[in-house]
A and B are shown apart, each in its own frame.
Chain A
Amino acid sequence: MASIVLAGSSSGAITVAAPAVAGTNTITLPASTSTLATTADITGPAFLAVSGANQSVTSGAITKVSINTEQFDTNSNYDTSTYRFTPTVAGYYQVSGMVKILGSLTASQVIIYKNGALVVAGNYFIVGAQSALFNTVEGLIYMNGSSDYLELFGYVVGTSPVFTYTSIYNTSRFSAFLARAA
C-alpha cells in the first residue's frame, strides 16, 4: 500500500495512506486556502441521557422530562439537575428524544424546547385509553455554542400518567450530537 508521510517540524508525523481497493480513488482538496475539518468537526459534543426513575405528571400540562442519568456526555454539556443540554460548540445538532408513558392515556406528544420555547414537536397521538405510549421527536437544531440550551418536554392527557422507568434500556431518553459545525 502506497503512502505519504508528512513529518512534523520537531516531532510526530501524519501518514496519508491509499486504501487497498481496486480502481482509482480521488480526494479533492480545496482550490484555495481552506480547512478540511476542524477539531470541532471531529470531536464535537455528543450526549445520551436517560430517565432513572418514574416521574408522575399532570394530565394536560407540558412537563419537562427528568432525564437524570448520563450514558455518555463527551463535553460535559448536559446538566442532570436542570435536564438541559447546553453545547459549547456552535453548529447544527441532530437531537432525539423519546418518552415512555404509562397510565390510562388518551393523547400525548413529545416536544423539544430551545431556550424555553417550543422548537420541534413530535406527532400528536390521539388514542383510545391506551396503557402505554412511546412518543418520539427529532430535529436538526442550530445552537450558538454558548447560551443556547435544549430541554425535552412531554404532554399527556389521561388518568395517573407516569413517565416510566423500567431499566436504562427501557425508559425515556434524550440525545444530541454535533452534525455540522457553524
Chain B
Amino acid sequence: MTLYEKIVELYPQLTNKDFIPLIGTIMLQNDSNGKGDYIAKWEHPTLAKPTDEELS
C-alpha cells in the first residue's frame, strides 16, 4: 500500500483535490533517491498529520 493510499484509508474524507500541488493542503513527495514517498507538507485545516505509527 502506498503512502497516499494509507493516508486516504486513514482519512476517507480526503479527495484528490487535497493533494494537488500548489493549491492542496497536503503534499506527498518522492525525491527519487530510493527513500520512497514522504509527507512534504501537511497544512490541512482540520485533520492532524498522521503519525509514523498510523502509517506503518
CB distance from B20 to the nearest CB of A (A): 7
Q: Tell me if A65 counts as interface (CB < 8 A to partner B).
A: yes
Within 8 A of B (CB), among A97-116: 106-107, 109, 111
Contacts of A82 in B (CB 8 A): 33
How far apart are the CA atoms of A121 and B28 in the complex, in Å? 16
Closest chain A residue, CB of each to CB of B32: A64
A62 touching B22, Cβ below 8 Å: no
Within 8 A of B (CB), among A105-162: 106-107, 109, 111, 118, 121, 124, 153, 155, 157
Contacts of A124 in B (CB 8 A): 20-21
The interface residues of chain A, by DSSP majority, are classed as: strand
How far apart are the CA atoms of A66 and B37 in the complex, in Å? 15
Residue in A55, A58, A83, A121 whose CB lies within 8 Å of B4: A58
A61 touching B32, Cβ below 8 Å: no
Q: Tell me if B40 counts as interface (CB < 8 A to partner A).
A: yes
Closest chain A residue, CB of each to CB of B36: A58
Given A61-B29, A63-B32, A64-B30, are A121 and B22 neighbors across the interface (CB < 8 Å)? yes
How far apart are the CA atoms of A170 and B2 in the complex, in Å? 28
CB distance from B14 to the nearest CB of A (A): 10
Q: Tell me if A59 counts as interface (CB < 8 A to partner B).
A: yes
How far apart are the CA atoms of A7 and B2 in the complex, in Å? 69
How far apart are the CA atoms of A106 and B17 in the complex, in Å? 12
Q: Tell me if B19 counts as interface (CB < 8 A to partner A).
A: yes
Apart from A59-B2, A62-B29, what are 5 other A-B pairs with CB-CB below 8 Å? A58-B4, A58-B30, A60-B28, A62-B27, A111-B21
Interface residues of B (CB under 8 A from A): 2-4, 8, 16, 19-22, 27-33, 37, 40
Interface residues of A (CB under 8 A from B): 55, 57-66, 82-83, 106-107, 109, 111, 118, 121, 124, 153, 155, 157
- 14 A–B contact pairs at CB < 8 A? A57-B30, A58-B28, A60-B28, A61-B4, A61-B28, A61-B37, A62-B21, A62-B27, A64-B30, A64-B31, A64-B32, A82-B33, A107-B20, A109-B21
